[in-house]
Structure 1
Amino acid sequence: MPEQHQTEPRRGPSFGRRHLLRGAMLAGGLAAAGVGGIGIASAQSFSHPGMLVQTDDFARMRSAVQGNREPWISGWNRLIANSHSHPTWQPRAVERIIRGNNGTDPENYWLLMNDMHAAYQNGLRWKISGDTAHRDCAVRILNAWSGTLKEISGWTETSLAAGIYGYQAANAAELVRNEPGFDRARFQALLANVFYPLNNDFLVRRHGTCDGHYWANWDLCNMAAILAIGIFNDDKAKVDEAIEYFWNGKGQGSIEHVIPFIHGDLAQWQESGRDQAHTMMGVGLMAEFMEMAWNQGIDLYSARDHAFAKAAEYVARYNNGRSVPFTKFVWYNGHNCAYNEQTVISEGARGQIRPVWELVYSHYYGRLGRAMPNVWEMLAKVRPEGGGGDYGTASGGFDSLGLGTLAYVQERKPTTLNRLQSYNHQDRYVRHAYYDARLDASISPAADAQFRLVPGLADKTGVSFEASNVPGHYLRHYDYDFRLDPNYGSSRFAADATFHAVSGLADGSWTSFRSHSHPDRYLRHYDYLLKLDPISTATGRADATFRITS
């Protein structure tokens, strides 16, 4: 009787405590009770450097740049061509930063905005090249601001300035936190006394408006600032505050609100009906928030069954020019909670280029091997990602620290491409043709007959077969037949795409592959199609025996 598979479930917006507990266990911390039984994951100690980039990341970047390897070298060339990364950059620190028209003071937030990107870019160049002139430039910029800035003011946009430039300042400072001449204590005081009170006030008071009044970006940048400040200042309470708001926050940036609707393997973003520029800004801010948490041992990427991966695919797909489903979005705004609705997705700024995609792809595909085809298509348009100063002079070009092609790209291992040669039809190899798996004659190593043999998705002692020409797609069995499917992260998929290499059933010098989910069955060919069968005959043993060739 054929194997009976149930359709893999499409999970809705609810999420369980298991996501929280995973974060708590990774952090080695606590799970404290929160609203509705959902709690917070608390880090007990801090890893430094441990925000957007860590020590291992610098080693990877340095090795790739020294080896002149793509795509990192293109990212490096983009960095060194940016004037903000030059060690001659001079800070322009002032006592009072204004963002938003308050009717009396001219805006000058661009001074802080540009200087924080210059500090970050110089710090990054120093970490990779070892040139201390860049380190000293970053220290000079950061010391100037910690010794001068007393206030961030303006209209309600003060909250944007405190959020965006707060998390960026902490990331820049993290790169030089222990370096000679850097006044770390004074910079910690700047973050705690000038930035943090504004971040906290926004998330608590929201300028006296309805909980849903402000778009997700306003929450996300302030969440990111509190998290980054907590990490840089070794302040566990602030880290807890940011993570708790991610799970339980009343505004549009919490995980329940920022992704209001799940559409199968896609998920609608809260600002999708507003415009695409702010939607992509939100994707970038959420990715940076999640990455900072990840580097402290807290997994938020997996929240709500990897809802953020689905949302990134949704946003990328629409901005690649394709259609996506849209459910009417309702919210209440202002001081009197007026009713508002959006019934169609916005075409405003559709297709805009923003440096927010490498980090998303790095985690879901680079670390997890998850298929992200729409994000991958977007990357072809934005690579190599630049940083502040590469996308114009307006504030939108500085919303993300960027430079992801250099900083975030994960090296998929093993990188060797392999073919599976049949034992009893040695002129034939396993291939995928129109996503069906079969055994065909192969004169040359065609792309669809090449696979990366990666650690098993369900069991790292096993193996999974990733297609070389379709990233994130794997051979898996379904009703005992084989096909090439995208990995969207389900446990069923992982089990069906995992196999254990054993001595060849027909010849011990070759290899056979036992199913992880059905250990009494093996991968074999039958009438040149791949099947998952129990093996009991000599013919079956020959059909289930292969050689791995490179």
Structure 2
Amino acid sequence: MFNHPGVLVSRAQLDFVRANLGNEPWKSAWNALQLHRFAQLSYTAHPRAEVNCGPSSKPDNGCSDEREDAMAAYTHALRWYLTKDSRYAQKAIQIMDAWSAVITKHTGDNAPLQTGWAGANFSRAAELIKHTYTGWTQAGRFAGKLRTVYLPTVIAGRPDNNGNWELIMTDAAIGIAVHLDDRASFDRAITTWRGRLPAYVYLKTDGSYPKAPPNSKHDTKAEIIDYWKGQTTFVDGLTQETCRDLWHTGWGLAAISHVAETARHQGVDLYATAKHRLRSAMDLHARLELGGTVPSWLCGGKVTKGLGDHFEVGYNALHHRLGYDIPDAERWVEQNRPAGVSHFLGWETLTHAQNPHGAGTSASATPDFNADGVGDLFSAATGTLTVWNGKGGNQFGPASAISSGWTPYF
């Protein structure tokens, strides 16, 4: 059985937010949501039977409409839960019913990514409304469209495209799987995520060059270097899209965090797998965005900035829940609050800033050891992280030792 609501946000997380709407940083984030056009009861959906999206959504035949309507449905679902004003639940339902009445397919070069963008937000909206509001008579019809129109595309993955595509599609796939109580699709989404993670974010322990995406045509050293935009020097936290631009890199890292967050609500700890890659990548790219020196060996000495406010979910998990010090990411997150809306990201300062809560999680059965025999044991129930020496079995201390400057992981 799945924990509901449990797509990106849980009931406990939203109850925490609801209790803190008068405090910062949630107050500013809440004000921004309420003022946004996506949150207005006058919002009108623009559904289509066929959404046709060319490269970069050009032509845009329903692409922006679907993305905006999905975000508006999620925005109204959040506003419903945080106010308990049923008008917002009904507006979210109105938007979703409009789409489930007509949508049949996505076409065009950008269709897989479009299906991921829209499917991620539609699954979040549907999950919140179905499990916190009574009276959605067409919930089954909407679930049916998630299963037949969205899930087959996003669950298939996209191993040969830039990594943010497959990661965003997997974000949608795991959300839809949870909403549908579809364990097979949930497990398949996690398998895709596990395969893509080391093919998107590099660590030195991977070897002299990055891993190939499973089932990808980019599987020789030369092909992987070309796939990584010609980069030949690899350092912890570098991503497959770093030398493309920081905006798409931010999307990929956000999607990694989203999948881990949804899985966490279902009792699967993917942060144990992703934490070192995520914290290295978040700090590296925040440092570049904030004006850090770009060495000559990195992307020819120049990166295209525009990171975006994409780190809130991952930053909360790594810093506030796991206790890691990631100073450049922290600076970037805090100076960009409150996070707004973009494609598949919405209101994440409101939902995840300093949010300690989850659902369906417990302490790991065994510590997560690295190659040096140093590991950690995280308890979601208490929010504590203990660092261990795996070789000698000695307990070093809590995560606060790490954030105060002691870093045994390197």
| TM-score, with structure 1 as normaliser | 0.59
Aligned counterpart, 2:38: 84
| TM-score, with structure 2 as normaliser | 0.78
In proportion to residue count, which structure has more helix?
2
Task: Identify which of 113, 128, 143 aligns with 1:188.
Answer: 143
Q: Given the alignment of the two structures, is residue 72 of structure 1 paired with residue 16 of structure 2, yes or no? A: no
Alignment CA distance shift 1:110-1:489 (3 Å): farther
Alignment RMSD (CA, Å): 3.0
Alignment CA distance shift 1:304-1:149 (3 Å): closer
Distance 2:408 2:344 in 1: 27
Q: Given the alignment of the two structures, is residue 255 of structure 1 paired with residue 197 of structure 2, yes or no? A: yes
Deviation of residue 289 (structure 1)? 1.6
Asked if 2 retains the 8 angstrom alpha-carbon contact of 1:199 and 1:226, the reply is: yes
Distance 1:489 1:90 in 2: 54
Match runs of 1:11-410 below 5 Å:
45-65=1-21, 68-100=22-54, 107-154=61-108, 156-178=109-131, 179-201=134-156, 203=157, 206=158, 211=159, 213-248=160-195, 254-262=196-204, 266-303=236-273, 306-323=276-293, 343-344=299-300, 346-348=302-304, 350=305, 352=306, 354-387=308-341, 398-410=342-354
Deviation of residue 134 (structure 1)? 0.7
Q: Which runs of 5+ in 2 are unaligned?
A: 206-233, 358-382, 389-394
Secondary structure of 2:130's counterpart equals: coil
**Higher mean Cα deviation, 255-264 or 214-223?**
255-264
Alignment CA distance shift 1:489-1:377 (3 Å): farther
Structure 1 counterpart of 2:323, which letter? Answer: G
Asked if 2 retains the 8 angstrom alpha-carbon contact of 1:269 and 1:279, the reply is: yes
Structure 2 counterpart of 1:161, which letter? Answer: Q
Asked if 2 retains the 8 angstrom alpha-carbon contact of 1:93 and 1:148, the reply is: yes
Number of residue equivalences:
349
**Higher mean Cα deviation, 315-324 or 361-370?**
315-324
Question: Relative contact order: is structure 1 or structure 2 higher (C-alpha 8 Å, sep ≥ 6)?
Answer: 2
Q: Which runs of 5+ in 1 are unaligned?
A: 1-44, 249-253, 329-342, 388-397, 414-453, 475-484, 494-550
Structure 1 counterpart of 2:8, which letter? Answer: L
Alignment CA distance shift 1:489-1:124 (3 Å): farther
Alignment CA distance shift 1:305-1:134 (3 Å): closer
Secondary structure of 2:6's counterpart equals: coil
Asked if 1 retains the 8 angstrom alpha-carbon contact of 2:282 and 2:329, the reply is: yes
- Over the matched positions of the two proteins, sequence identity in percent amounts to 26
Asked if 1 retains the 8 angstrom alpha-carbon contact of 2:386 and 2:399, the reply is: no
Structure 2 counterpart of 1:122, which letter? Answer: H
In proportion to residue count, which structure has more strand?
1
Asked if 2 retains the 8 angstrom alpha-carbon contact of 1:50 and 1:292, the reply is: yes
Distance 2:151 2:355 in 1: 36
Rg larger for: 1
Distance 2:356 2:122 in 1: 31
Deviation by residue 1:234-290 (Cα, 9 ceiling, x = unmatched): 000100111111223xxxxx0120013449994101100111111112122211121
Distance 1:214 1:465 in 2: 37
Distance 1:259 1:103 in 2: 26
Deviation of residue 137 (structure 1)? 0.4
Alignment CA distance shift 1:298-1:489 (3 Å): farther
